[in-house]
Amino acid sequence: MYTTLIDCETLHQHLDDPGWKVVDCRFKLADPGQGQRDYEQGHIPKAVYAHLDKNLSVPQVPGVTGRHPLPSAEETARQFSSLGIAPGMQVVAYDDAGGASAAVRLWWMLRWLGHRSVAVLDGGW
């Protein structure tokens, strides 16, 4: 079980493992559609895309919430299930900020739900 970082070689050895899910979390605050476009142009084989606004947040309420409010635990579980993440699965998240952006948010959210086997790809995209 990988719980913090994972290297590219280890991930490569498990790309065909049905117990593993790779999640592309690339996102640009200045252009919220850029991450999806980048994913469509190329991504790690079998990776799914998690959009910061659509999968890792709920809509902002002006004057009430900050940017990218945290969904409820129930909504978070639904979003992760829709991405194909199941209990006990090894999840690997990556972004193009070395894991310091939305990939770490996905990592933190899964840990918040009690999912221990989640790691960020060392070095990111």
Confidence of residue 100 (pLDDT cuts 50, 70, 90): confident
Q: At residue 105, does pLDDT exceed 80?
A: yes
> Which percentage of the chain shows pLDDT scores above 90?
86
Query: Count of domains in the chain?
Result: 1
Paired tokens of 118: 């989640």
Which structure tokens are listed for 121?
């790809």
Order of strands, edge to edge, in the sheet holding 48-49? Answer: 5-6, 118-121, 90-94, 20-24, 48-49
Mean pLDDT of 73-100: 93
pLDDT in tens, 45-61: 999 999 999 999 988 88
- Within the chain, strands assigned E span 5-6, 20-24, 48-49, 90-94, 118-121
Instruction: Give pTM, 2 decimals.
Output: 0.94
Amino acid letter for position 67? R
Q: CA gyration radius for the chain?
A: 14
**Domain span including residue 113:** 5-121
Domain containing residue 27: CATH number: 3.40.250.10
Checking if the pLDDT of 99 tops 70, the result is no
Quick one: pLDDT at residue 67?
87
